[in-house]
């Protein structure tokens, strides 16, 4: 019998039993964390060899003749630009290698939009009256935080299994010149693991923005982060844009934060030559040069895109059992009860769970009470407002498999408890 | 006989001879660069040991229990904060360790001022009508570029042998609430090598700004960069401010760009706990964490402030002969002729030369013609406008001693040539 089929009396009985179970879990005094997409120590161990590729006896001048220890080469060493070009499916001179964080690059890109504007715009964003960004939701909380900081109005766009609702995207972008950007995680989206369909990517390339300074923020954070042996296929947006002559509309972001080291990786921007020129001019006022030594470290360790792919297989071997552990446990404990749905991602860092409407906040709070930390409910929506209060993002990468199963068990208990509480409210005597 | 004493006829003869000499130099087709404060390869070699302190067999968890390979610890690892605290003469919890570039931190600090404002201010700088920065001049061109980018009006303040003209500084800061900042390189200033006197530092601490969000940008780029065995003494501004209760007024910047690697050092901000809290809140929206692995590398290599000092002695051994070579050559070729003056810095990266008024642009252009690259004339003043067109910054660190002497020889020739041209204009028939 599912909860939905129960009488009020039966629900009350179930509630009592779940509360007892919850009290017992709480008494264990656990401290488990499924809140952030953070690699485990075992994953970080995979890149330790990178610490040996540059030593005091090595030559630190690149094949291209650059002493990576000194100032210069603002856009990065050619070898690193070539590697990131392959990762992004673009040309090396369309790549700008920056510091260690793609989030920082995205923040800086919006910030530069405010101060300097973009080619095609009449004046800096900051001098324009209204600014809007489209925010496919659920999405990445830190993207939304950047918009909030700069006072950019966020317009939520529903996600479909093919990517954002493109009819809505087209209608906004092509008609409203105050729409300046859209946040996209096109492969293994955060949190749902959706990869944009070919049709979706083509429709992005064919956009005819009302604003000349509209930009697609293409955050390809999980471009090589597969969880199965059949990688999702993502059409190359830049190539599609070239066919349409719309390549100035795209700014791509990638980083090795979840390839090498989360604290000490390398991040890059990919964009058209027109955007690149503007970027070089303004970044030159911001910094003398980025850390080219770390760029060289990455190039010497991975060698090429094939090296990166082989490396990501090792990550997969560590991550896949964790994801499977969580989804199996969800199936065992919540399957067929009509009180939750969840994703089975083929890549990326998250499992997205939809509880019954109006239950997500309660579940997160109950979990916290029992020592299981989750991302705040609502965080996956602009302004932290999940209109149905039902989406919860689970990050399975960091805990050990044991901890993860324990945490997922508690999570399932809390989902059931919240569902029963909610049903009691609505079911008649 | 000095040029000033010559008749027009004698000057014309001298001009002809100098022009012949110049043509001969030009024919050599040299390519020498004294334009930027860039360490030499030998200096960079001094830090190569840093590449061996972290290897794949090392434990990358700090004494404080932090895995430097992963996200977290936004303000830096405690060990690095302690080392930088000693460099700045402040407490570890007043230190925020950032990326690899203090210039980037300064840009970001101004940018954050525009977007978020500072404690003590009523609203963000960007929402206020007029903004001014005081710019002791000659000064650092990249400081001035940041003001220009953000549309902040620059007010030049003359430098004295004791630091900026403090009477003028007090008059502006204490009376004009649109004055939001001042750029300072307090030790071995760029380009003159002036270290602020105790009296100057005390007067800074005693400022009573009309604007609650006024900040002193204390860019202590050369805090351990001595060129003599008698380091200049700089009073500790933060300590002086504590006596006055004015410590929220100060933001300090340092980096290891000219201690370890110029492309791959570590930069830090020093500020009061009130400023630190505000900083942590806003940087959290900008980045997940900075490169803690490089922080650990620096800590393990230098160990402590004494390690840094001993290391800087090695830099001095390489730099001091270069500075001496330049000043000796200047003395030999231009001494006692009344057509140029120059500094004898006790530290830092530059020698500042004042030509006869109206000659600097011409000298830089003549040098370029003969294959010697110098910083643009005027660059050391706000808006690139040297009111007397006479200041030229020489950076002796990067070329070899031979190249440097050759370049200085050509520079002296050009100074003489420009002086004679100028004198011919003004001397009667």
Q: Do A70 and B261 touch (CB under 8 A)?
A: yes
Q: Do B264 and A69 touch (CB under 8 A)?
A: yes
C-alpha–C-alpha distance, residues A30 and A24, integer Å: 11
- Count CB atoms within 10 A of the CB of residue A304: 12
C-alpha–C-alpha distance, residues B273 and B270, integer Å: 9
Nearest-CB residue to A287 (from B47, B69, B101)? B101
Antiparallel, parallel or unpaired: β B267-271 and B95-97: antiparallel
Q: Which helix (H) or strand (E) holds B191?
A: none
Q: Which residues of B touch A111 (CB under 8 A)?
A: 111, 115
Angle at B225 between CA B203 and CA B383, to 5 degrees: 60
C-alpha–C-alpha distance, residues A231 and A345, integer Å: 11
CB B227 within 8 A of CB B385: no
C-alpha–C-alpha distance, residues A163 and A369, integer Å: 35
Mutate to test the interface with A, among B49, B263, B267, B349 (most CBs of A within 10 A): B263
Query: B135 — phi, psi (to 5°)?
Result: -125, 90
Residue B142, SS3 per DSSP: helix
Task: With 0.90 as the threshold, say if the pTM is over it.
Answer: yes
Q: What share of chain A is helix, strand, coil (3-state, %, to 5)?
A: 45, 15, 40
Q: Which residues of B touch A150 (CB under 8 A)?
A: 115
User: What are B237-278's pLDDT values in tens digits?
Assistant: 999 999 999 999 999 999 999 999 998 999 999 999 999 999
Q: Which residues of A touch B36 (CB under 8 A)?
A: 71
ipTM score of complex:
0.95
List the end-to-end C-alpha distance of chain B, in Å, as a whole number. 18
Q: Which residues of B touch A51 (CB under 8 A)?
A: 54-56, 58
Q: Which residues of B touch A116 (CB under 8 A)?
A: 149
How confident is the prediction along chain B (429 residues), in pLDDT tens digits per residue? 889 899 999 999 999 999 999 999 999 999 999 998 999 999 999 999 999 999 999 999 998 899 999 999 999 999 999 999 999 999 999 999 999 999 999 999 999 999 999 999 999 999 998 999 999 999 999 999 999 999 999 999 999 999 999 999 999 999 999 999 999 999 999 999 999 999 999 999 999 999 999 999 999 999 999 999 999 999 999 999 999 999 999 999 999 999 999 989 999 999 999 999 999 999 999 999 999 999 999 999 999 999 999 999 999 999 999 999 999 999 999 999 999 999 999 999 999 999 999 999 999 999 999 999 999 999 999 999 999 999 999 999 999 999 999 999 999 999 999 999 999 998 766
Nearest-CB residue to A107 (from B44, B263, B286)? B286
Could you tell me where the DSSP H helices lie in A245-359?
A: 273-283, 292-302, 305-334
Mean pLDDT of A374-387: 97
DSSP for residue B232: P
Structure tokens of A80?
A: 């690193």
Angle at B294 between CA B183 and CA B38, to 5 degrees: 50
- Cβ-Cβ pairs closer than 8 A, A with B, add up to 151
Q: Do B287 and A103 touch (CB under 8 A)?
A: yes
Q: Which residues of B touch A146 (CB under 8 A)?
A: 285
Say which residues have a Cβ less than 8 Å from residue A428's Cβ, sequence separation at least 6.
A8
A70 close contact with B: CB closer than 8 A:
yes
- Count CB atoms within 10 A of the CB of residue B233: 9
Nearest-CB residue to B55 (from A36, A52, A264)? A52
C-alpha–C-alpha distance, residues A11 and A9, integer Å: 5
CA proximity to A68, closest of B299, B36, B297, B263? B263
B314 close contact with A: CB closer than 8 A:
no
B317 close contact with A: CB closer than 8 A:
no
CB B131 within 8 A of CB B177: no
């Amino acid at each position: 019998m599912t909860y939905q089929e129960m009488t009020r009396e039966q629900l009350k009985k179930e509630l009592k039993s779940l509360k007892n179970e919850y009290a017992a879990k709480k008494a264990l005094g656990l401290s488990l964390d499924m809140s952030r997409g953070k690699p485990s120590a075992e994953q970080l161990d995979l890149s330790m060899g990178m610490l040996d590729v540059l030593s005091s006896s090595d030559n630190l001048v690149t094949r291209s003749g650059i002493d990576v220890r000194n100032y210069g080469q603002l856009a990065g060493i050619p070898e690193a630009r070539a590697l990131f070009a392959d990762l992004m499916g673009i040309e090396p001179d369309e790549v700008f290698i920056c510091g260690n964080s793609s989030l920082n690059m995205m923040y800086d890109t919006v910030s530069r939009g405010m101060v300097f504007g973009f080619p095609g715009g009449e004046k800096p964003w900051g001098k324009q009256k209204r600014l809007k960004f489209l925010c496919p939701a659920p999405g990445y909380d830190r993207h939304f935080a950047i918009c909030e900081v700069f006072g950019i109005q966020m317009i939520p766009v529903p996600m479909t299994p093919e990517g954002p609702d493109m009819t809505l995207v087209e209608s906004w972008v092509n008609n409203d010149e105050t729409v300046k950007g859209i946040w996209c995680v096109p492969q293994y989206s955060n949190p749902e693991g959706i990869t944009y369909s070919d049709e979706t990517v083509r429709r992005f390339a064919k956009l005819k923005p009302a604003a000349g300074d509209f930009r697609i923020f293409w955050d390809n954070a999980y471009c090589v982060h597969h969880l199965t042996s059949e990688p999702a296929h993502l059409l190359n947006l830049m190539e599609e844009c070239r066919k349409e002559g719309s390549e100035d509309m795209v700014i791509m972001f990638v980083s090795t934060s979840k390839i090498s080291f989360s604290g000490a990786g390398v991040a890059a921007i990919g964009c058209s030559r027109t955007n690149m020129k503007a970027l070089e001019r303004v970044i030159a006022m911001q910094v003398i040069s980025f850390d080219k030594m770390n760029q060289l470290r990455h190039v010497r360790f991975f060698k090429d895109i094939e090296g990166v792919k082989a490396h990501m297989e090792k990550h997969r071997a560590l991550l896949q059992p964790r994801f499977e552990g969580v989804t199996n446990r969800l199936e065992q404990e919540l399957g067929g009860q009509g009180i939750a749905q969840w994703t089975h991602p083929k890549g990326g860092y998250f499992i997205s769970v939809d509880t019954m409407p109006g239950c997500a906040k309660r579940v997160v709070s109950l979990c916290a009470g029992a020592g299981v930390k989750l991302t705040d409910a609502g965080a996956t929506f602009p302004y932290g407002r999940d209109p149905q209060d039902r989406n919860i993002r689970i990050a399975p990468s960091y805990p050990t498999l044991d901890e993860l199963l324990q945490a997922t068990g508690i999570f399932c208990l809390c989902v059931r408890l919240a569902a029963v509480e909610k049903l009691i409210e609505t079911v008649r005597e």
